[in-house]
Amino acid sequence: MNAPDAVPPSASRLPAELRAELSALLGDRFTLSASVRTQHGKDESYHPSVPPDGVAFARSTEEVAAIVKACARHHVPVIPFGTGTSLEGHVAALRGGVTIDLSQMNRILAVHEGDLDVQIEAGVTRKQLNAHLRDLGLFFPIDPGADASLGGMAATRASGTNAVRYGTMRENVLGLTVVLSDGSVIRTGGRARKSAAGYDLTRVFVGSEGTLGVITEVTLRLYGIPQAISAAVTPFPTIEAAVNTVIETIQSGIPVARIELLDEVQLDAVNRYAKLDYAVQPTLFFEFHGTEAGVAEQVEMVKAIASGHGGGEFRWATQAEDRNKLWQARHNAYYAALALRPGAKGMATDVCVPISRLADCVSETKRDIEENGVLAPIVGHVGDGNFHLTCIFDPADRAETAKIEALNGRLVRRALAMGGTCTGEHGVGYGKIDFVEAEHGPAVEAMRRLKRAFDPDNIMNPGKILRI
């Protein structure tokens, strides 16, 4: 769908001189293998693989710089690759070129406990980081579900379940090391908590999806593991009741750490997939962080709000093990949805609206799904006004595919009409490239100026975010 401006992969398209240079630089860490190329042309979405012409496994910023410099000399595209867990075709090599796999750049460079920050290489994954931090009593909260690389999470401005309390990658990246399109290396930001010293280059690159440069190192804010953590699951009679509970909780300023919605279709899928026995109703998953007394107070306030909207019993998970099970069930929502129809694919799409419009947007979308007979469970980071559909379909079936595409288009237009955005967290890739124009209007031309300033030859992940 959204048929990419693609060319067939062909290793021989890479200039022989470039192949020789990259082989000399990387040895067998530069490969033309078809299977490696195919794997690197594909993310976790329904978008088909568009393999690059070669894959380079980098081990340092200097190597990335050398690779980009070589590619730039030959006007060959460069596509950064972390874990391949993106959802809008971000890693597809639409115009061929060399994919730079950063997964071997996985060193944790420096933890500054006293300053609550950490410097890492871009290939470190969030689970790896949190495993490293646990004994220090620290954690990094941003959790998009997948065990994504933190470089990739920065590049896509990821967020996820904890964003309602801790913000997104936008708020939690203090600085970056970036290889620019000419192979030069810059460091943006710094370790001070705030700075007014010049343009905010860090946030120019956060969310730029590899189209302005390759992120090779990241400095992140950390947080102390809260004294008390408690999680609960609560069913509601209707999806409106659940969403109105969310809206009232947010408007009351209660600092919930997570507040997730699963509609009854998604809940049923999760039950089947994980062999759980939650009531098959629209359901909220909550998590509370704070001191013992603070968590108790938050819980009382939220229980009162939920009960006012007809919410059922809170099923608690206070032990770490039980909480992990609960959140694993939530994180597996996508796979659980896929399992509803074996062999089918899922189109995971997300929008985000101002919280006051969330009930309208979710209800209208649910009606739209039902009226069109689509299988599309709803799940959302609703505290931010962000929700997802996983449309289950067979990409080989043209009529069904068209129906899904139309549903997605109506979802985005509905969100935009409500003052929202075409993607709260998945990013644009090439799957949502047309919607960026609809959302930003004349500002897209300003985005093009930015793109041209940093990538005048359009070799950095071309065909993503903007039509150039």
For residues 439 and 345, what is the distance between their CA atoms, to the nearest angstrom?
27
Nearest to 232 by CA among 260, 209, 255: 260
Question: Residue from 107, 191, 323, 413 that binds a second copy (CB under 8 A)?
Answer: 191
- Distance between the two ends of the chain, CA-based, in angstroms? 19
For residues 78 and 460, what is the distance between their CA atoms, to the nearest angstrom?
5
Q: Which residues on neighbouring strands pair with residue 100, listed in sequence order?
A: 56, 80
Contact call for residue 449 and a second copy (CB under 8 A): yes
Binding mask 241-280 for a second copy (x = CB under 8 A): ------x--xxxx---------------------------
Contact call for residue 135 and a second copy (CB under 8 A): no
The CB-of-278 to a second copy minimum distance in angstroms stands at 27
Binding mask 355-374 for a second copy (x = CB under 8 A): xx------------------
Binding mask 293-312 for a second copy (x = CB under 8 A): xx--x---------------
Contact call for residue 436 and a second copy (CB under 8 A): yes
Question: Residue from 5, 10, 24, 190 that binds a second copy (CB under 8 A)?
Answer: 190
Binding mask 27-66 for a second copy (x = CB under 8 A): ----------------------------------------
Contact call for residue 216 and a second copy (CB under 8 A): no
The one-character DSSP state at 357 is: G
Contact call for residue 201 and a second copy (CB under 8 A): yes
Contact call for residue 170 and a second copy (CB under 8 A): yes
Contact call for residue 103 and a second copy (CB under 8 A): no
The CB-of-146 to a second copy minimum distance in angstroms stands at 14
Contact call for residue 116 and a second copy (CB under 8 A): yes
What is the b/e burial string over 145-167, where b = at least 16 CB atoms within 10 angstroms of the residue's CB?
bbebbbbbbbbbbbbbbbbbbbe
The CB-of-280 to a second copy minimum distance in angstroms stands at 30
Nearer to a second copy, 221 or 331 (CB): 221
Strand order in the sheet with 117-121: 108-112, 117-121, 214-221, 173-179, 185-189
Segment lying near a second copy (by CB under 8 A), choices 18-26, 68-76, 100-108, 350-358 = 350-358
Question: Residue from 31, 83, 149, 208 that binds a second copy (CB under 8 A)?
Answer: 208
Binding mask 408-427 for a second copy (x = CB under 8 A): -------x---xxxxxxxxx
Enumerate residues 6+ apart whose C-beta is below 8 A from 167.
142, 159
Question: Residue from 324, 452, 467, 468 that binds a second copy (CB under 8 A)?
Answer: 452
Q: Which residues on neighbouring strands pair with residue 392, listed in sequence order?
A: 346, 375
The CB-of-310 to a second copy minimum distance in angstroms stands at 21
Query: 83: how many CB neighbours lie within 10 A of its CB?
Result: 21
Contact call for residue 195 and a second copy (CB under 8 A): yes
The CB-of-342 to a second copy minimum distance in angstroms stands at 31
Question: Residue from 3, 16, 196, 399 that binds a second copy (CB under 8 A)?
Answer: 196
Segment lying near a second copy (by CB under 8 A), choices 12-20, 21-29, 49-57, 348-356 = 348-356
For residues 447 and 318, what is the distance between their CA atoms, to the nearest angstrom?
46
Joined together, the tokens standing for residue 342 give: 């074996």
Nearer to a second copy, 106 or 181 (CB): 181
Nearest to 41 by CA among 93, 114, 97: 93
For residues 245 and 345, what is the distance between their CA atoms, to the nearest angstrom?
32
Find the helix or strand (DSSP H, E) in which 178 lies: strand 173-179
Residue type at position 462: P
Contact 379, 388 (CB under 8 A): yes
The CB-of-165 to a second copy minimum distance in angstroms stands at 11
The CB-of-447 to a second copy minimum distance in angstroms stands at 5
Enumerate residues 6+ apart whose C-beta is below 8 A from 50.
4, 6, 9, 41, 42, 89, 92, 93, 94
Find the helix or strand (DSSP H, E) in which 56 lies: strand 54-57
The CB-of-140 to a second copy minimum distance in angstroms stands at 14
